[in-house]
Structure 1
Amino acid sequence: MGRTFDSLADPEFNRLFSDFRFTAYRLESLQRYGVFYEEAEFALFMDGQERGEFPGIADWIEGTVRPAVRAGKRMHRVHVVEEPLSDYVRFECAWSYEHTVAAGEDVRIAPVGQGEWLDGLPHYDYWLFDSRQLVTMHYEDDGTFAVAEIVDDPEQVVLANYWRDMAMVSSVPYREFATRFGGQFSPGHG
């Protein structure tokens, strides 16, 4: 295994998002992420408030997504989501994906039944840069980030490419998925 990162704020980890040349792909598998930069906004969402300024997503859009898209790079992700949707996934759709998609990120959703999964797809998150640099993302049971690890094993990189392709064909574009909910992802609705 390669270099590990124990913080999402690590400058070397963040450099991966500016240094890739063509594509950055993310597989998301969790139904709840407990990341520090979303805590206040998630609480507002759960309280039924309208989306206001969301610094964590604004930083992602302005610092990563828009510059990549302007440079002709592709940023895309697939989130495997269990139905009925968790409150966190509703929050992520309404307060994050709506805005990252508008900025040019290709977000896709692969809905599955509760307790089900896509056959052959791993049950963990990863980033794949330029189809050749694999970074696995590890989280605690409560969704808090634990560590990211660069994987140097070529066989694992090839598998990650296969999983990416499988997830892409098993998913639908975010906006298509969102139409099923009439654009409303309020807490407690599924």
Structure 2
Amino acid sequence: MIDEQQLEAAIDEHFHHAGDKLFRMECLPRYMASEGEESDFQRYLAGADGPDMERKEQWLAILRGEEARGLISYRVRAFSNAMTEYERYEADWCYVHNAAAGEDISVLRDGEHDTPATFIREDFWLVNDALLIPMQYDEHGRFLSADIVTDPDTIAPYLQARDDAHAAAEPFRAWWDRHPELHQRKRAA
């Protein structure tokens, strides 16, 4: 088991050369994030206009830098049919900006997209198809730990799940444009 710092170090160790690929599967209805992100979520719930862009810009600069260096970062976000406020926040205040900064984000929403039979409803990272990092969270979405898996036989079903989920998912920007009812300003109007 590894903690958050060890997780970041493991990813950084394997994700730094042009052409390296980093994939993230996200499935939880809520994540308890860093203090700054949690502050943004509370501001979102209170009806603020947008995230703390001074804080957010640090992450966006990382995404732009990775893209400029030829690193490939993508994710599939599995959303529930009746989206939680946190899922709406993620889409409206996080993914809109992350996608604009170069992250390839796709959406697989229950009741809207066909879920592949190979889908693994777990949070995990895949790095260069050779490193699997399954994530463990508590019932409130707080990160507990992660594992490092290098066994190809264990990784194989996750590669298939990733490929099938990515193929079935809809690119975030197109999905977001089709759902103005989820946009904060539209809901507040």
Q: TM-score range by the shorter chain?
A: 0.7 to 0.9
Aligned to 2:158: 160
CA offset at residue 99 of structure 1? 0.6
Say if 1:163 and 1:153 are closer, same or farther in 2 by CA, change over 3 A.
Answer: same
Deviation string, structure 1 residues 5-60 (Cα, Å, up to 9, x no partner): 22257652452474365211111111111112411000000001111424664333
Deviation string, structure 1 residues 53-90 (Cα, Å, up to 9, x no partner): 24664333223x11210011211000111112111011
Say if 1:161 and 1:10 are closer, same or farther in 2 by CA, change over 3 A.
Answer: closer
Instruction: Spell out structure 1 runs of 4+ moving beyond 6 A.
Output: none
Aligned to 2:123: 125
> What's the TM-score, normalizing by structure 1?
0.85
CA offset at residue 119 of structure 1? 3.0
1:96 aligns with 2:88: no
Aligned to 1:31: 29
> What's the TM-score, normalizing by structure 2?
0.86
User: Where does structure 2 lack aligned partners over 5 or more consecutive residues?
Assistant: none
Q: Check the 8 A contact 1:125/1:137 in 2, yes or no.
A: yes
- Describe the SS at the equivalent of 1:27: strand
- Describe the SS at the equivalent of 1:5: coil
Aligned to 2:3: 6
1:19 aligns with 2:16: yes
1:176 aligns with 2:174: yes
Say if 1:8 and 1:142 are closer, same or farther in 2 by CA, change over 3 A.
Answer: farther
Match of 1:84 among 67, 82, 85: 82
2:44 is aligned with what amino acid? F
| Structure 2 counterparts to residues 24-63 of structure 1, below 5 A | 24-37=22-35, 38-54=37-53, 57-63=56-62
Provide the C-alpha distance between the structure 2 equivalents of 1:36 and 1:178, rounded to a whole number of angstroms.
25
Alignment root-mean-square deviation, CA = 2.6
Provide the C-alpha distance between the structure 2 equivalents of 1:110 and 1:69, rounded to a whole number of angstroms.
24
1:62 is aligned with what amino acid? A
Q: Check the 8 A contact 1:112/1:118 in 2, yes or no.
A: no
2:104 is aligned with what amino acid? D
| Structure 2 counterparts to residues 102-113 of structure 1, below 5 A | 102-113=100-111
User: Where does structure 1 lack aligned partners over 5 or more consecutive residues?
Assistant: none
Say if 1:32 and 1:161 are closer, same or farther in 2 by CA, change over 3 A.
Answer: same
CA offset at residue 131 of structure 1? 1.3
- Describe the SS at the equivalent of 1:69: helix
1:90 is aligned with what amino acid? R
Identity rate of aligned residues, in percent?
Answer: 25
1:59 is aligned with what amino acid? Q
